[in-house]
Structure 1
Amino acid sequence: MTKDVIALTPKMPDTWALLAGLYAGGPDLAVDTGHDGAVVQLCAADGRPLVSLEAPLLVQVPGEAERLLGGQVEAPQGPFWWTEARASTALPEAERLAGSVAGRLTTLLGGATWPPGAASTEVVPVNEAEVSARPAAGGAHPTVDVLTESTAVVMCDRPLIALTAWLSHILRTAVESRRALQIVTPPGVRLSLPLRTALTGAPNRWVVKDPDCGYYDGLSGAVLRWQDGTFAPARDAKGEAVVAEAFGAPPLTSERQLIVAFRTVHNPDENLVLGHALEAAWQALTGAAPAGWGTAEPINLPWSARQLTDLARDRAPEPTQLLAVGDPARPALAGLRVTRVERGVAADATLTLGYGADEAPPLDAVQALAATLAADPGLDQMFVSLRRGRRDLAVPAHFEAPPIPVSYTLGADGVRSAGLAHAERPPLALRPVPLGPPSEPALHYVLGDGTDAAAWPVLEQLTAHLQRGAAL
């Protein structure tokens, strides 16, 4: 398990500042680098890692420190540098060592550290006889705690676990080596929405320690046991999975989340600019464009549809997974996945917005948004739903009710495929609203207000009806 200390500085940590930080353990510790210089490690003389220091990241998006670290730390005004020092728990002094690394950076450069009180400038003596950590095996990332043939296990202890660059790298490496990524945390920890999305689906898991059952899956509630080099569901006498009591549903919250998922498909010409549909959705539902974008958390770049398009083009034909965040006053996060498909370039976006008990989700703006997207022939489909969930969009380790459908919009190509007459008359008590050019309309189906779960079977019947039309 690692203990994290983060330095937030208004100036970039240059070579001399990093050297001063790395001297926190005195002259007897060795310095090593890994992953093309992106990670610097303080190591015992025999190479055992004690503290891993990530390359500093320039964060130019307001509110990211508060979103990921809470109100315990005041980030510098304007753009700032985010530098993470992660201490191995294999040595009692390693956390103090990480705090001294971060404290030396903020002493030289200004700024703040997280968690509060962790920073110091003392030299932390290390008793190498007490170090139990070993060098990362097989090229594994230095913060992988356990590596087996089937699983990479990372142990984290911070209030909110985000999809950081180093976790994203571990996940990507795990996929390439056909391993699962399993993140182990104490109780009370939450995941960021992007990390929750990245962990969706076994064998990847969020493993929560529990005093009663040992471990359980923070996303499904299944009690887990360490079996054959991985965490897997425990079974009762009937061979069925057991759900942890701690996963039980808490009292209903009045906070809600509006989820807008849509796909657009574009011709892959040189003038293509991605992200305009996502920007239009953000503008329609919040009154402002996204604040920033990036490939990991913290989301660090000011919003630019042109720049994210350039990145996706550079990575083609491989898919590109991007993130976007909004103004801190209106919690909003989006994932954007860009892939090559037979028809061109597909952009799958999922925008999630948080609302407090005294805030009304803008359901009356959904049809207008559908009309805006339908004006572009690239719209494939859009699905809008509403759920009870935290305003800050963080994911707790207990049951959350699934979202309830609000509306479904079928783009012009889908309407043409299903047949306009067929798509306009589903065997249901609803009639769609035509949007876009009358000659090639999209169809917008209103399914409810997000409070009645009976909208789910209606949606299933609708999509089945449209698929039958397309198959004719």
Structure 2
Amino acid sequence: MSYDVVALHADNPDLRTLTRALEDAGRDLRVRALAGGHLLRLRDASGTLLTLEPAQLVEAPGEVERLLDPDLAAGLPERCWWTELRARPDEAGREAAHRVADRLALSSGGAVWTSGPADFGVWEETEHPAVEYTAGKAVVVAQDRPVVPFSSWISDVLADPAVQEHGFQLLTPARSRLTYALRTLMALPLARWVVRTEDGDHFDGLTGLPLIRHPEHGHIPARAEGPAAPAEGFLDESPLGRQIVVDFTTRAPKDAFDPGLSVERVTERLVGVAPTAWGPYEPALAPWNRKRMARLVRHRAPRPSLFRFRGTGPGGSRFSGDLRLTWEDGGVREQVSLVLGHPDAESVPHHALPAAVAAVAEGLEMMHVRLARGREDATYAPRWHGLAEPLGFAVGWERAEGSHGRGGPLEGTRLGEGSGAVWYPVPRDVPRERATSLVASQIEYLTAGRGRSGGERPGHLT
């Protein structure tokens, strides 16, 4: 289902309040618990009307403004609860969702947010409340929101073995944007961002190429004679900000790891602040707290843990990312993917990159830093952002010492205390194509560890 309603209310509704809210939708409706009671499904004679996820406490500010509506947050109490409903995208489903949400908001004071009309004309009754329809080899989720997050609903759909075997498609209108976490998912081979235009046509949100509906595969590329042209407006060259994308991996002993510390150190060097909030999904509603995170990670061990985090810099620029922790023999590996938005190219903190590397040098395995056109709020519209430009990469000293960190086309600088890491910046005046080639050659050189630079000029360690 794709019509979403969020009730924001001052108090966590008790059983009596929740019962009255469900009764407001209609006393002749049937209620069924799903996922061990974690979800409630409301049905009429024709099928499912809506599914309700229990209230979540909004402990950290910012998600209402980021994902819903900045104006909505102004009238909310400082401490509130977030209850999300997903309704059938017809008049009966929308009305039922509004009655339940209005009762919850009025019970203690609050507000109600609704998505767009959400009726793409393809909805069908499915077992999962987030699924719009299923094709033979694709599961399609539709969302009509200004910003589409990596929600618990979507995460649950992805756990379906059929999705993992065949594919996942996200259907949105052209006005929607994706968070970094969801946009990263859409870049995977079995995923596709399907964008619906006002005329009812479809195109790929990452490539702009036209798509057509297919009964077996959901949406597939449209056939064209000659090179396919991207959708109208996809190649919009109007000004955009800049985004730094940082991917790095660290490893620490099991008895000495501190989950989230590496994230905190990098964002403090590049933005000036630690993350504001974290959580397993979006919205990320818990205030940033490494001790609380560590308790959850240890409780889940030896299963891996995946968290989303976000924050806002002093100038209003936003950042968000993913943190994955995996237990291995003798240690814990942290994999971090982070995007930081900036208003323009001049505000990108190139000078702070060595400090960010040095801050996580101990235990660092690899770090890649890239620069791309993109929104300052770290969300992604369905338009061409250009190819990312590598700014540099770093490796832990243990990985670099096979060649003593020397040689190759890029000059390396050893950073950090103890064993440290080696940072290989790309010269600022190098064209993007050349920069990509230099980074690839340097990585190949380090991997070989043979002291040959493949014909490139020799580098050195400073």
With normalisation by structure 2, the TM-score equals: 0.88
Equivalent residue for 2:460? none
Specify whether residues 232 and 183 from structure 1 end up closer, same or farther in structure 2 by C-alpha distance, changes over 3 A only: same
Equivalent residue for 2:423? 444
Aligned 8 A contact 2:445 2:451 in 1: no
Match of 1:411 among 396, 401, 407: 396
Specify whether residues 393 and 204 from structure 1 end up closer, same or farther in structure 2 by C-alpha distance, changes over 3 A only: same
Aligned 8 A contact 1:415 1:441 in 2: no
Stretch moving more, 385-394 or 224-233: 224-233
Q: Secondary structure at the match of 1:166?
A: helix
Equivalent residue for 1:108? 107
Structure 2: which 5+ runs fail to align? 453-462
Specify whether residues 171 and 460 from structure 1 end up closer, same or farther in structure 2 by C-alpha distance, changes over 3 A only: same
Match of 1:425 among 398, 401, 407: 407
Amino acid of the structure 2 residue aligned with 1:150: K
Deviations 1:31-51 (A, max 9, x none): 1221111221221136x1112
The separation in 1 between residues aligned to 2:192 and 2:233, in whole angstroms, is 15
Shift of 1:198: 2.1
Deviations 1:312-338 (A, max 9, x none): 333334332211111373301011112
Specify whether residues 450 and 396 from structure 1 end up closer, same or farther in structure 2 by C-alpha distance, changes over 3 A only: farther
Shift of 1:72: 3.6
Equivalent residue for 1:97? 96
Amino acid of the structure 2 residue aligned with 1:98: A
Equivalent residue for 1:121? none
The separation in 1 between residues aligned to 2:318 and 2:196, in whole angstroms, is 29
Q: Secondary structure at the match of 1:221?
A: coil
Specify whether residues 441 and 82 from structure 1 end up closer, same or farther in structure 2 by C-alpha distance, changes over 3 A only: closer
Match of 2:222 among 227, 234, 239: 234
Equivalent residue for 1:126? none
Deviations 1:72-116 (A, max 9, x none): 412624332111122211x32321221121111111111111149
Shift of 1:214: 2.2
2:456 pairs with 1:469: no
Equivalent residue for 1:33? 33
The separation in 2 between residues aligned to 1:149 and 1:338, in whole angstroms, is 34
Q: List aligned pairs for 1:24-423, cutoff 5 A.
A: 24-45=24-45, 48-74=47-73, 76-89=76-89, 91-115=90-114, 136=126, 140-174=127-161, 178-210=165-197, 214-230=201-217, 231-237=219-225, 242-246=228-232, 248-269=234-255, 271-327=256-312, 329-341=316-328, 344-357=331-344, 360-374=347-361, 376=362, 378-416=363-401, 418-420=402-404, 423=405
Shift of 1:201: 1.7
Specify whether residues 40 and 471 from structure 1 end up closer, same or farther in structure 2 by C-alpha distance, changes over 3 A only: farther
Aligned 8 A contact 1:60 1:78 in 2: no
Specify whether residues 261 and 177 from structure 1 end up closer, same or farther in structure 2 by C-alpha distance, changes over 3 A only: closer
Amino acid of the structure 1 residue aligned with 2:231: E
Shift of 1:470: 6.8
Aligned 8 A contact 1:29 1:44 in 2: yes
The separation in 2 between residues aligned to 1:102 and 1:305, in whole angstroms, is 34
Equivalent residue for 1:11? 11
Specify whether residues 276 and 237 from structure 1 end up closer, same or farther in structure 2 by C-alpha distance, changes over 3 A only: same
Aligned 8 A contact 1:265 1:343 in 2: no
Aligned 8 A contact 2:210 2:231 in 1: no
Specify whether residues 190 and 451 from structure 1 end up closer, same or farther in structure 2 by C-alpha distance, changes over 3 A only: farther
Q: Secondary structure at the match of 2:91?
A: coil
Aligned 8 A contact 1:291 1:302 in 2: yes
Stretch moving more, 296-305 or 447-456: 447-456
Specify whether residues 114 and 408 from structure 1 end up closer, same or farther in structure 2 by C-alpha distance, changes over 3 A only: same
Stretch moving more, 148-157 or 259-268: 148-157
Shift of 1:211: 5.1
Shift of 1:213: 7.7
Equivalent residue for 2:457? none
Deviations 1:210-243 (A, max 9, x none): 35682111122232222242222223346x7x34
Shift of 1:177: 5.6
Deviations 1:13-40 (A, max 9, x none): 2212211221223212111221111221
Aligned 8 A contact 2:10 2:109 in 1: yes
The separation in 2 between residues aligned to 1:174 and 1:114, in whole angstroms, is 33
Q: Secondary structure at the match of 2:49?
A: strand
Specify whether residues 414 and 252 from structure 1 end up closer, same or farther in structure 2 by C-alpha distance, changes over 3 A only: farther
Aligned 8 A contact 2:194 2:202 in 1: yes
Aligned 8 A contact 1:380 1:414 in 2: yes
Amino acid of the structure 2 residue aligned with 1:335: D
The separation in 2 between residues aligned to 1:5 and 1:245, in whole angstroms, is 31
2:414 pairs with 1:434: yes
Specify whether residues 357 and 431 from structure 1 end up closer, same or farther in structure 2 by C-alpha distance, changes over 3 A only: closer
Amino acid of the structure 2 residue aligned with 1:444: W
The separation in 2 between residues aligned to 1:367 and 1:55, in whole angstroms, is 44
Aligned 8 A contact 2:262 2:360 in 1: yes
Structure 1: which 5+ runs fail to align? 119-131
Deviations 1:153-172 (A, max 9, x none): 11211111111111111122
The separation in 2 between residues aligned to 1:275 and 1:260, in whole angstroms, is 15
The separation in 1 between residues aligned to 2:167 and 2:116, in whole angstroms, is 35
Deviations 1:162-197 (A, max 9, x none): 111111111222567624221111221111111111
The separation in 2 between residues aligned to 1:190 and 1:79, in whole angstroms, is 27
Stretch moving more, 179-188 or 62-71: 179-188
Aligned 8 A contact 1:43 1:49 in 2: yes
Deviations 1:400-441 (A, max 9, x none): 11221112111112112x321xx3221x2x421122347x45
Amino acid of the structure 1 residue aligned with 2:147: L
Aligned 8 A contact 1:405 1:448 in 2: no
Aligned 8 A contact 2:8 2:111 in 1: yes
Aligned residues: 443
Shift of 1:345: 2.0
Amino acid of the structure 2 residue aligned with 1:457: S
Deviations 1:259-316 (A, max 9, x none): 22211012223x4222111111111122222111111011011112232233333333
Amino acid of the structure 1 residue aligned with 2:325: V
